[in-house]
Amino acid sequence: MKDNFFSIFKTKDQNFKKFLKTLWIIFFSILGFLIIFFTSVYFGLLGPIPTFEQLENPLDKFSSELISVDNNVIGKYYYEENRSWVSFNEISPYVVKALIATEDRRFYKHSGIDFKGLARVFSKTIIGQQKGSGGGSTITQQLAKNLFKRPSDINKIKLIAIKFREWMTAIKLEKNYSKDEIIAMYLNTVPFGYQLYGIKSASLYYFGKDPIDLSLDESAILIGMLKATTKFNPILNPENAKQRRNVVLKQMVKNSYITEEEFNNIKEKDIPKPEKSITSSTDDLAPYFREYLRLYMTAKEPDSKKYKNKADYKKAKERWDNDPLYGWCNKNKKPDGSSYNLYNDGLRIYTTIDSRMQRYAEEAVREHLSKDLQPSFFKEAKRSKYAPFIGAKSEQEVKDLMNMAIKRTDRYINMKKNGFSDKEIEEAFHKPTEMRVFSWDGVKDTIMTPYDSIIYHKYFLRASFVAIEPQTGYVRAYVGGPAFSFFKYDNAAIGKRQVGSTFKPFVYASAFINDPTLTPCTKIPLIPVTFDMPDGSQWTPKNSGNVDEGTMIELSKALALSINWISAFLIKEKTSPAAVVELVKSMGITDTIPPVPSICLGTAELKLLELISALSTFANSGVSQTPILVTRIEDRFGNIISTFPYGASKEVMDEISAYKMISLMKGVVDFGTGSRIRYIYKIPYPVAGKTGTTDDNSDGWFMGITPNLAAGVWVGGEDMQVHFRSMALGQGASMALPIWGLFMQKVYNDPTINLYKGDFTMPKDFTPDMLCDPSNSSESSPMFMLPKNKKKSWN
């Protein structure tokens, strides 16, 4: 019995020891697992954990902003996330209070992990199954999640590891940054829909103001969106946004950030109508400029192996070596040695664009094309056999034009790359499909074959516009086409078109330089001029209108009326094609111009940006300025990286010759082919100008220069065969000049721009006898006439 008694205790003792041993095994197993687990997390074995350097600079993806000269953001460069940086002091206190009250009310009390919040989640959400009890993640944990993205394909084990990794990252963030800095970083990373990231992008987009200026109402709306950016979007779902705003405000009352009275004053108010400001979509301000600048800044150093023509390589290499903005992203390195990235580095690019002038330029293009020119073209095209190719001579010509257009499309390029046969590609282009097409009344959803859509869009006339400051070369407005989303080809700085009579001022200027005795009053006989050509033939230019052959005409009137014979006389007798080409190159034209007599009529194909820049030299006393697009570049913290104060300036002619040209070109506007500026657009201030029209009305031009602003306009079809038949509609004075007139009306009427309205400065050595009043030299005025038996041609 005694032995049995002790054996019972012995058995119990053995069982206890076994239990204790099992308990210790479980304990050390769990401890070992946790040690291995946290060690794996810490050293990144279950996924990378942010390094100290990454924590020091976590926000590595910021869109770069383009800022106008009047300090407005005119656009951004971003790849996936449209995000802009702001500091804590640039954020409205209402935003901060709304965020803390809604997302993490103990934010200033914990060190990254809110254990009370976790206990609440465990007891109420997990055990009590209370869905509305809230989450346990702190703002710092959410920041860690936003900064260091989770992979898309993760299982539950990896998710647990990532959660712990985010905890450790949150603790590290708390050690490295102050609470205010964490708030700012968080608000710079959160999404607000429409690819908008960060409070600055959101406040500008939805309310047209900076984050510091957000009201209590607006702050609550934006913080309310964080729960679900689409469901509580104030544009898409204003009622949902209102309810969510009131929830945020109620939380602010609960946490004593606002009073019950403040809440009651707002809760019944409707959601304020969002005022979307400038964003980076292609239909906002200066899209062609933004794209041109992007290509310019990201250009790579020319590789001689990729150039078939040595002259083209030399030209590209000179630009790379001499233009600090060209290829800037690849020429300049960040402190870590890597190149700058427009999409991620949050650069602040201060452009020369004036947002007011830019908006007026885009409005002028839209107004003239949509209301006047395009309806007229549609009407004329109805009477054409090959519309919209009114100038086409045969069906084969139309077929060739369409084949070229098809091969330039993304659809053709992608299908060809993926191995589709020519037959399959042709079938695809003739298969009806849903698509969106352009119209001046807005984008249209329709069903159309890709082939028909190409024809449809070719009906729309294109236009480009550039305004530049003669004294600095600063580009103030830049329009490359009518609508970037549909017509991406840039006709301002990339496309080249025949310039017509807008080239004639260069011929006159070269003559003035070569023969200083010539003045605007100098009279030249109105007789044909014949050139002996290298092949033994002869060429005699014709005038576009009737002239009184045999009379004498002042140079001022000859340019005002754009008389071809006088331009031909000057290039043959007073200068030479080679001298004209040399002058034009010195004025900034980089395109190749053959030194042949026909350039006196404008056969050269040039870019609008270079053309108006060269002509603006006359308003700058003969000093040429390289066009400037950017004045400085800063990093996202406001540190200046590069400056571009002025372009290369070069005196290419004496100020007397330059002023003579201004005098001549003023006549174009006062009584010549550009006189609509006076009698239709009622602009009374001094303007020097020149119209231009090419063969068959394929291109219409107008160049207008004032003392402090020069602006040029081109209008035409995508193809040269898309043009007006009627000279009345197709000439530069009808196609291009109205855009200039509308633009300048708006500029002059804007008191905030305060454009100078005075006259051009006359040089000290310029004498009044060099000027004349050609408006008095009418057909009835006594003019010297050659005797009939003395009429001749200039052979």
pLDDT digits 0-9 by tens, 538-564: 999 998 777 788 899 999 999 999 999
- CA distances to 20, 415, 422, 424 from 419, rounded to whole Å, are 72, 6, 9, 10
The residue ranking higher by pLDDT, 195 or 664, is 664
Q: Is the model's pLDDT at 133 over the cut of 50?
A: no
Going by C-beta distance under 8 Å and a sequence separation of 6 or more, which residues neighbour residue 745?
A: 681, 682, 683
Q: Are strands 444-448 and 433-437 parallel, antiparallel or unpaired?
A: antiparallel
Element (H, E) at 475: strand 475-479
Q: Is the model's pLDDT at 154 over the cut of 80?
A: no
Predicted model pTM? 0.76
pLDDT of 125 reads: 47
Q: Which pLDDT band holds residue 763 (cuts at 50, 70, 90)? A: very high
Q: Is the model's pLDDT at 323 over the cut of 60?
A: yes
Going by C-beta distance under 8 Å and a sequence separation of 6 or more, which residues neighbour residue 49?
A: 41, 42, 43, 165, 168, 169
Query: Phi-psi category of 719—alpha, beta or left, where left has phi over 0 and alpha has psi -120 to 50?
Result: beta
pLDDT of 160 reads: 63
Q: Is the model's pLDDT at 437 over the cut of 60?
A: yes
| Mean pLDDT, residues 273-278 taken together | 50
Q: pLDDT digits over 25-79, tens only?
A: 787 777 776 677 566 655 655 555 555 455 555 555 678 899 999 999 898 887 5
Going by C-beta distance under 8 Å and a sequence separation of 6 or more, which residues neighbour residue 264?
A: none
pLDDT of 280 reads: 35
pLDDT of 282 reads: 38
pLDDT of 708 reads: 97
Going by C-beta distance under 8 Å and a sequence separation of 6 or more, which residues neighbour residue 332?
A: 339, 340, 641, 642
Dihedral sign (CA 557, 560, 566, 570): positive
Tell me, rounded to whole angstroms, the distance of Cα 212 from its chain centroid: 27
pLDDT of 143 reads: 80
- Could you identify the residue written with the tokens 């550039």? 466
In angstroms, the CA 250 to CA 216 distance is 12
| Half-sphere exposure at residue 259, Cβ-oriented, CA atoms within 13 angstroms | 3
Could you give the percent of the chain with pLDDT greater than 70?
A: 83
3-state secondary structure of 228: coil
In angstroms, the CA 262 to CA 460 distance is 54
Going by C-beta distance under 8 Å and a sequence separation of 6 or more, which residues neighbour residue 776?
A: none
Q: pLDDT digits over 673-686, tens only?
A: 999 999 999 999 99
3-state secondary structure of 731: coil
| Mean pLDDT, residues 593-602 taken together | 96
Q: What is the mean pLDDT of the chain?
A: 85
Q: pLDDT digits over 612-659, tens only?
A: 999 999 999 999 999 999 999 999 888 999 999 777 789 999 999 999
Element (H, E) at 417: helix 410-417
For residues 143 and 184, the answer to whether their CB atoms sit within 8 Å is no
Q: Is the model's pLDDT at 176 over the cut of 90?
A: no
**Alpha helix stretches (DSSP H) within 515-606:** 555-560, 564-569, 577-586
pLDDT of 789 reads: 37
| Mean pLDDT, residues 169-181 taken together | 81
Going by C-beta distance under 8 Å and a sequence separation of 6 or more, which residues neighbour residue 495?
A: 464, 480, 489, 607, 608
101-105, 189-193, 594-598, 790-794: which has the minimum mean pLDDT? 790-794
Q: Which pLDDT band holds residue 273 (cuts at 50, 70, 90)? A: low
Going by C-beta distance under 8 Å and a sequence separation of 6 or more, which residues neighbour residue 286?
A: 66, 74, 75, 353, 358, 362, 478
122-136, 198-212, 224-238, 772-786: which has the minimum mean pLDDT? 772-786
| Mean pLDDT, residues 353-374 taken together | 97
pLDDT of 45 reads: 55
Angle (nearest 5°) at CA 160 between 159 and 166: 85
Q: Is the model's pLDDT at 108 over the cut of 80?
A: yes
Strand partners, 467: 477, 711
Q: Which pLDDT band holds residue 779 (cuts at 50, 70, 90)? A: very low
Q: What is the DSSP string of 342-390?
A: TTTB--EEEES--HHHHHHHHHHHHHHIIIIIHHHHHHHHTT-TTTT-T
Q: Is the model's pLDDT at 346 over the cut of 50?
A: yes
